[in-house]
């Protein structure tokens, strides 16, 4: 698969990554099946995996996805991948709540190091700003963790341009992870995608199909299915190819519960689209 550089990190990763969330939340597969899905992604050329400590069922299950990924990499001989994880959310009784207090981020990072079984985390991302905690305090703690060698690179998630600029004044930022899909093009409207292009930050679109429900109904979006059929692709692979064609900063991280889904997504890394193709695909979203 073609590779892209993860911002200023110098890390070359697959143009399409794997999002781990669906392997660990409600309706998740067995751990053995989850490992098989990760192995299928690796076999298809994926070398970038995104996770988070909060990808689990509830607070008692915290770190589940990180542990599954660690097992998958450990069990596959010669497997190598850059793993990006996140801290700053909690899962009380299965809810999703924000906690980006410095003390919590430090505790979460230490827990992620143990779950992943590594001495240093490749990329550690603030999962989301927390209104109860000054943003600079949260990012400042990530800067300290980086200085201490616990994390190699810092990323952000669910942020706007103003927050990216504030964070960059505190610590080097290599990536931004926001929601982006055919029916939610906020990163284009808000200027976040253009800002990442300008500053050469990796942009990691999550929920590229619109979440689990969106993935199931993607073929019914406008005339997308027709555009995909013309090119001999699944609608899902075409959407990922469209994202890659929109910007050299983009590294999509589609989730997968099945090996077949992981392989189909990985194939987008080899699809070449012209500017006319991009316009036709965007018109099909309407």
Q: Which of these is catalytic: 55, 124, 195, 206?
A: 55
Catalytic annotation on 124?
Answer: no
Closest CA to 20 of 111, 88, 81: 81
280: its two tokens: 């036709």
222: its two tokens: 């406008």
Please give the helix or strand (H or E) that residue 238 lies within, else none. helix 235-246
Q: Is residue 194 within 8 Å of 28, Cβ to Cβ? A: no
Q: How many helices (H) and strands (E) does the chain have?
A: 12, 11
134: its two tokens: 């000054």
Helices (H), the chain: 31-43, 64-75, 102-116, 135-147, 161-168, 186-190, 192-199, 211-217, 224-230, 235-246, 259-266, 275-284
| Catalytic residue set | 55
């Amino acid at each position: 698969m073609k590779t892209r550089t993860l911002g200023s990190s110098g890390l070359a990763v697959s143009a399409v990554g794997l999002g781990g969330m669906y392997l660990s939340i409600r309706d998740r597969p067995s751990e053995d099946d989850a490992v098989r899905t990760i192995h299928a992604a690796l076999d298809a050329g994926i070398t970038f995996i995104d996770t988070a400590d909060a990808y689990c069922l509830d607070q008692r299950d915290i770190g589940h996805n990180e542990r599954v990924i660690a097992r998958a990499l450990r069990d596959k001989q010669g497997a190598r991948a850059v793993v990006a994880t996140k801290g700053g959310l909690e899962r009380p009784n299965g809810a999703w709540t924000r906690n980006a207090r410095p003390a919590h981020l430090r505790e979460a990072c230490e827990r992620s190091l143990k779950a992943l079984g590594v001495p240093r985390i490749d990329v550690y991302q603030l999962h989301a700003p927390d209104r109860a905690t000054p943003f600079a305090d949260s990012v400042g703690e990530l800067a300290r963790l980086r200085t201490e060698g616990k994390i190699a690179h810092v990323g952000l998630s669910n942020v706007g341009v103003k927050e990216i600029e504030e964070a960059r004044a505190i610590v080097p930022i290599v990536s931004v992870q926001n929601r982006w899909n055919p029916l939610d093009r906020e990163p284009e409207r808000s200027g976040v995608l253009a800002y990442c292009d300008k500053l050469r930050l990796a942009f990691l679109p999550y929920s590229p199909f619109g979440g689990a429900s969106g993935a199931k109904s993607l073929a019914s979006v406008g005339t997308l299915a027709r555009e995909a059929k013309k090119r001999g692709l699944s609608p899902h692979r075409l959407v990922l190819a469209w994202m890659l064609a929109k910007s050299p900063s983009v590294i999509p991280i589609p989730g997968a519960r099945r090996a077949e889904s992981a392989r189909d997504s990985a194939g987008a890394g080899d699809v070449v689209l012209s500017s006319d193709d991009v316009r036709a695909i965007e018109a099909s979203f309407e």
